[in-house]
Amino acid sequence: MALAPVGLKSTQYSILSEVARGSALGAVTMCELAAAMVMDRSTLGHNLRPLERDALVILQHAPDDRRKRHVQLTRKGKALLQRARHSWARAEDRFEAIFGKKPASELRAVLLDIANRRDLSLPPVR
């Protein structure tokens, strides 16, 4: 709901944020982005399609290896991300006001730890 005014879903916001963060270090590849998002490449591709359709990101083949594709924010994507960051910050402030600053910080740390556990094996869902 916090991102509804800018027309993004939370996953889309996360992807745009990660592309922006990765692009600060150079062009980010689909593999790098998928790893950072803890997604497989096909799921990432599925999530990128609407962002590409709406001209928020562009996907380009790497000049040195056509098997690699780089993801970049467009000007429109950068502008929308900037607006979305303000909405997200307001939502985080509201959450911290209700949940508490320290518990919110602890929750973020736990969730980040879970996301970073690549060896986490879960039993199959039946």
Q: Give residue-wise pLDDT tens across range 56-100.
A: 999 998 788 878 899 999 999 999 999 999 999 999 999 999 999
Q: How many domains does one find in the chain?
A: 1
* Domain, as residue range, for 14: 4-89
Query: Measuring CA to CA, which residue among 75, 69, 63 is closest to residue 20?
Result: 75
Neighbours of 73 (CB within 10 A): 21
pTM of the model: 0.82
In a domain, 70, yes or no: yes
In a domain, 34, yes or no: yes
Please state, rounded to an integer, the average pLDDT across all residues of the chain. 88
In a domain, 41, yes or no: yes
- State the CATH number of the domain containing residue 85: 1.10.10.10
Residues facing 71 on adjacent strands: 28, 59
Number of H-type helices and E-type strands within the chain: 5, 3
In a domain, 69, yes or no: yes
In a domain, 68, yes or no: yes
